């Protein structure tokens, strides 16, 4: 098992360094064929989304980020203990105009059967099934 860092995913998705992008592609293809076992974490996925969405860097839309990242997260050789959680967070992120970290929080809430979010952030009110309450 190998741990996959954000920069490998980013090199593959952005192709900003063609040589590294090709090596990253080869690794991910090996993972898709189950020739190598990879894993990563929620923090790495959040970093990838942050970089891709950054106006100073790639400025991609949430919808485009979801479109690019879902195939990577669903590689056969990428072992993720919370794959459905990450997929749901990307769906929420792309459809509700909320930050990815907040989308992850909502996905965790849904998974745990929690409906109340204690927050001052009003954008949580855009998500059906979430009741925002202030402390």
* Tens-digit pLDDT profile for residues 83-119: 999 999 999 999 998 999 999 999 999 999 999 999 9
pLDDT band at 124 (very low <50, low <70, confident <90, very high): very high
- Which CATH code, of 3.30.2010, 3.40.50, 3.30.950, 3.30.70, is assigned to 2-133? 3.40.50
State residue 97's pLDDT score.
86
State residue 81's pLDDT score.
84
Give the start-end residues of each E strand in the chain.
Answer: 2-3, 38-39, 78-79, 116-118, 131-133
pTM: 0.90
User: Which residues sit opposite 132 in a β-bridge?
Assistant: 117
28-77 pLDDT, tens digit per residue, is 999 999 999 999 999 999 999 999 999 999 999 999 999 999 999 999 99
Residue 36's CB is within 10 A of a number of other CB atoms, namely 15
8 secondary structure, DSSP code: H
């Amino acid at each position: 098992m190998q741990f996959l860092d954000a920069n490998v995913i980013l090199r593959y998705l952005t192709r900003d360094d063609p040589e590294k992008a090709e090596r990253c592609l080869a690794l991910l293809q090996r993972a898709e064929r189950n020739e190598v076992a990879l894993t990563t974490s929620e923090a790495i996925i959040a970093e990838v989304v942050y970089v891709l969405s950054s106006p100073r860097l790639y400025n991609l839309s949430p919808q485009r980020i979801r479109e690019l990242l879902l195939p990577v997260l669903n590689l056969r050789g990428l072992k993720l203990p919370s794959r459905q959680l990450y997929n749901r967070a990307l769906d929420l992120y792309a459809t509700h105009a909320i930050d990815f970290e907040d989308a992850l929080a909502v996905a965790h809430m849904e998974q745990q059967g929690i409906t109340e979010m204690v927050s001052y952030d009003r954008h949580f009110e855009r998500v059906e099934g979430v009741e925002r309450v202030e402390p």
